[in-house]
Amino acid sequence: METAKRQNAVALAYGAGDAAPRVVAKGNGLVAEQIIARAREHGVFVHQSRELVALLMQVDLDKNIPPALYRVVAELLAWLYHIDAAQRLPGPDAGQRGDAGLPASDHKP
């Protein structure tokens, strides 16, 4: 019998005055599902990357991400800010852009 892999999730927070993004929630199984559900309820983008999540799961809660992850997280955040800005542009399809019309698993920075 094949055992299904448990889903993991990590939530990051990053403010203008912060030295680096920090891990504000993490978990697996039902906890991961709740993290993802709450993010979506609040309009927070959910990016799927098993490799990045595996690395971020090693970071303690309320701790900054390690310098080794700065670049990949910065690229992801820059891409998300770009998508967010594009969604705010006025146009005939404003409000219909969603998250670029792609499911979260297809988003790659």
Query: Would you say residue 56 lies in a domain?
Result: yes
Sorting pLDDT into bands at 50, 70 and 90, what band is 80? Answer: confident
Query: Would you say residue 109 lies in a domain?
Result: no
> How confident is the model over 29-77, as pLDDT tens digits?
999 999 999 999 999 989 999 999 999 999 999 999 999 999 999 999 8
Query: Would you say residue 107 lies in a domain?
Result: no
Domain span including residue 29: 8-98
What is the pTM for the complete model shown?
0.73
Backbone φ and ψ for 26, nearest 5 degrees, come out as -160, 155
Query: Would you say residue 104 lies in a domain?
Result: no
Query: Would you say residue 41 lies in a domain?
Result: yes
Residue 43: which CATH number? Answer: 3.40.1690.10
Strand 8-13 relative to strand 22-28: parallel, antiparallel, unpaired?
antiparallel
Residue among 72, 78, 44, 42 nearest 56 (CA): 72
Are 22 and 62 in contact by the 8 Å Cβ rule? The answer is yes
Query: Would you say residue 108 lies in a domain?
Result: no
- How many domains are there within the chain? 1
Query: Would you say residue 1 lies in a domain?
Result: no
